[in-house]
């Protein structure tokens, strides 16, 4: 194992200190938990957004703490859900009186621990609601989930619900907007290589030199199948077709597209994938409002990518285009 780390058991704490040193104008770390919060939190009378999960997916989730997106991000151990106590501390630290919305990716540990923390906060009189993101069309159940996994589409929920909260909307309104995004966003990914969890010291799965995993999860969970590597166009076509089978989009409708790298894929290759995605959607008469290409939710040093498509209406377009200022994204 070759990694730029010190102690495998200290990677999260070392990383969080590095993030706070790099971005003190945006965020700070809580003294009593592995939680990054917006520098000026709590923001009085604004609904606070809290998300998080296992570390190893950077810039998710700490990179999205700031104006127009998250108020707090909880960092669990690598690929491991944060504890209820961590989440509870995050909720308390950002509640400005208008309530807190928890954005939870659909992994069994995350759902259970976030809901336990919600119950703890409820007993303190803090208004807390939650939504569960399940945008992955690849598999219905997996190693970590009952139902579909939450993957890179989560970033669109952070952005759009965050913009709604920044406008002064109520907790009920912010939750409804988040649920609208969840209903209209789908993703699917693929892997060229595995990754290595620092504490394990070895890859979490194996692929032959000429193999790819189609539909794998961001923790290395099995996908739909393995196949011999093919062209970028063939892979992009498969991912997009699976998304459109699950969420039909009519000609003339508008979408946002995200081509997400898993950390070790060159931008050259991500743009090549995007070229084909654009061609497919354009041929079907689907209008692309905006395209985002980059690393938004990674998987340590895994090579591969995911494609996310978000169906838009006028409200979602306006909120997507609203300014956001966070360490990872100046404007999304």
**Active centre residues (catalytic):** 57, 219
Cβ atoms of residues 39 and 24 within 8 Å: yes
The C-alpha atoms of residue 7 and residue 9 are separated, in whole angstroms, by 5
Chain position carrying tokens 């709604």 = 164
The C-alpha atoms of residue 116 and residue 124 are separated, in whole angstroms, by 13
How many angstroms separate the first and last alpha carbons of the chain? 35
The C-alpha atoms of residue 80 and residue 62 are separated, in whole angstroms, by 15
Cβ atoms of residues 249 and 309 within 8 Å: yes
55 - beta bridge partners?
Answer: 78
Residue 226 sits at φ, ψ, to 5 deg, of: -110, 150
Pairing of strands 225-228, 211-214: antiparallel
């Amino acid at each position: 194992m070759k990694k730029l780390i010190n102690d495998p058991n200290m990677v999260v704490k070392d990383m969080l200190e590095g993030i706070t040193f790099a971005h003190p104008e945006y965020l700070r770390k809580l003294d009593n938990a592995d939680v990054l919060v917006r520098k000026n939190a709590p923001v009085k009378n604004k609904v606070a957004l809290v998300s998080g999960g296992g570390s190893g997916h950077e810039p998710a989730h700490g990179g999205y703490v700031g104006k127009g997106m998250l108020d707090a991000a909880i960092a669990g151990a690598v690929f491991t859900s944060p504890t209820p106590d961590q989440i509870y501390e995050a909720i308390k630290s950002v509640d400005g009186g208008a309530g807190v919305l928890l954005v939870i990716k659909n992994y069994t540990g995350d759902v259970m621990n976030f809901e336990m923390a919600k119950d703890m906060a409820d007993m303190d009189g803090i208004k807390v609601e939650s939504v569960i993101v399940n945008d992955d069309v690849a598999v219905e159940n997996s190693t970590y989930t009952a139902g579909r996994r939450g993957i890179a589409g989560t970033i669109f929920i952070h952005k759009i619900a965050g913009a709604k909260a920044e406008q002064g909307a109520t907790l009920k309104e912010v939750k409804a907007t988040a649920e609208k995004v969840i209903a209209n966003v789908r993703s699917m990914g693929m892997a060229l290589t595995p990754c290595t969890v620092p504490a394990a010291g070895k890859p979490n799965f194996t692929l032959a030199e000429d193999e790819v995993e189609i539909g794998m999860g961001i923790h290395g969970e099995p996908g739909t199948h393995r196949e011999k590597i093919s062209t970028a166009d063939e892979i992009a076509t498969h991912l997009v077709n699976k998304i459109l089978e699950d969420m039909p989009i009519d000609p003339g409708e508008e979408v946002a597209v995200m081509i997400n790298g898993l950390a070790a894929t060159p931008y050259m290759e991500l743009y090549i994938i995007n070229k084909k995605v654009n061609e497919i959607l354009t041929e079907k008469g689907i209008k692309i409002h905006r395209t985002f290409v980059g690393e938004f939710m990674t998987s340590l040093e895994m090579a591969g990518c995911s494609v996310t498509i978000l169906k838009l209406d006028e409200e979602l377009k306006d909120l997507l285009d609203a300014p956001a200022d966070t360490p990872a994204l100046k404007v999304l």
